[in-house]
Structure 1
Amino acid sequence: MPFLLRGARVLESLSSRTGHLLAWFTWAMVLLQSCVVVLRHLFDSGSIALQESVIYLHGAAFMLGLAYALQTDAHVRVDVFYRRMQPLGRAWVNALGTLMFLLPVCAFILAGSWQFAMNSWSVYEGSANAGGLPGVFFLKSLIPLAAVTLALAGVAQFIRALLELMEIPAPATRASAKPQLLKQAEEVEA
């Protein structure tokens, strides 16, 4: 089981690092949008490339932030019953939800967007606007990349849920804060 825990940690580390990088994209978006506003209102000028760069950064932050939102449990969840469940029930919901819903949706998005992105790459699609950014194919590549990163975060969530479901029942007391199997796997790794 230590290899499962190690695998989950690697996938979660990838999502976490991506999320922290995307936080800087948000700051860059704010600064660029401020420049667009200042150019427009103070200097009666504008830049389509600056406006499109804000759109590109927003797309990257949104699409690549999906995995980070799943990992940190910041996604929208209709949890009428989930919040009242015990940890074992939550683990079942997370495991089954990942297998039955999340991973198939990621596969559908990947399959549906792959040719869309490849067509854009085949012609090195650029902006339709004069003075716009030339790399629209990079922006379109974010769709299948988002499906892959979200699926990897889902696999990490599934591994965590699986480890919790495989927990060896503790003695009559519930004093232990960590599930026994997770504790054993972390001790083996340390």
Structure 2
Amino acid sequence: MSDKSPLPLSIAHFIDALNTRFGQACAWLTLFLVLGTALVVVLRYGFGIGATALQEAVLYAHALVFMGAAAWTLQRNAHVRVDIFYQKFSGRRQALVDSLGTLLFLLPLCLFLGWSSWDYVGNSWATFEGSSESGGLKFVYLQKSIILVLVISLVLQGISDLIKSAYMLAGRLPEPEVKHG
């Protein structure tokens, strides 16, 4: 018997690995956020020098930290939730709740975000929109594209979670260890 995972589970594991690596890379940007913000403050209040480009780069990184790592947070089940009952459910019941949440909330929200931001991002790319501030960054279109990165990564993670939940519901994955508190 082969230890190789079925194709759908291999796809789910690939998506998980992709979102993990991307999320971890985004998490490292928090170091830049701290150092960049400190430098902006020192330059402005210590030396009277405005650093608009650095300040905007910190804002870009801030957006990427939260939106780029959202799928990784979802994958790790580390997002904010009120789970009075969920933590006491069996693995199969948790898989059912997760599947319903993905199908009824996550995917429709992602479709709405993608649909409503498509023109917003597209128009920014069409004009290669830059900062309206003197000395600002010329890459506003890249910052706006982070919205679509959020949508794509969350949809992919939702698909991965649905695949794993389907295998759990079918009894083809072992029950996960119950974690309390």
The one-letter code matched in structure 1 to 2:58 is: V
TM-score (norm. length: structure 1)? 0.86
Matches within 5 A, 1:23-42: 23-42=27-46
Given candidates 158, 163, 179, the residue that maps to 1:159 is 163
Given candidates 166, 170, 174, the residue that maps to 1:179 is 174
Matched, 1:109 2:113: yes
The one-letter code matched in structure 2 to 1:120 is: S
Counterparts of 2:29 and 2:101, CA distance in 1: 30
Q: Percent identity?
A: 41
In the TM superposition, what is the alpha-carbon distance from 1:41 to its structure 2 partner? Answer: 2.2
Matches within 5 A, 1:101-140: 101-140=105-144
Counterparts of 1:145 and 1:21, CA distance in 2: 14
The one-letter code matched in structure 2 to 1:9 is: H
Instruction: Work out the number of aligned pairs and report it.
Output: 172
Counterparts of 1:27 and 1:59, CA distance in 2: 14
Partner of 2:69, secondary structure, is helix
> 1:53-107: CA deviations, max 9, x gaps?
1000001111111101101111111212211211111010011111121111111
TM-score (norm. length: structure 2)? 0.90
Partner of 1:5, secondary structure, is helix
Matched residue, 1:49: 53
Partner of 2:106, secondary structure, is helix
Matched residue, 1:21: 25
Counterparts of 1:7 and 1:135, CA distance in 2: 33
Counterparts of 1:99 and 1:43, CA distance in 2: 53
Matched residue, 1:185: none
Counterparts of 1:22 and 1:55, CA distance in 2: 13
Partner of 2:128, secondary structure, is coil
Counterparts of 1:36 and 1:110, CA distance in 2: 33
> 1:91-130: CA deviations, max 9, x gaps?
1001111112111111111111111100011111111111
Q: Contact 2:27–2:69 at 8 Å: present in 1 too?
A: no
Partner of 1:94, secondary structure, is helix
In the TM superposition, what is the alpha-carbon distance from 1:150 to its structure 2 partner? Answer: 0.6
Counterparts of 2:6 and 2:29, CA distance in 1: 35
Given candidates 76, 95, 115, the residue that maps to 1:72 is 76
Counterparts of 2:163 and 2:31, CA distance in 1: 33
Matched, 1:89 2:84: no
Select the structure of larger CA radius of gyration.
1
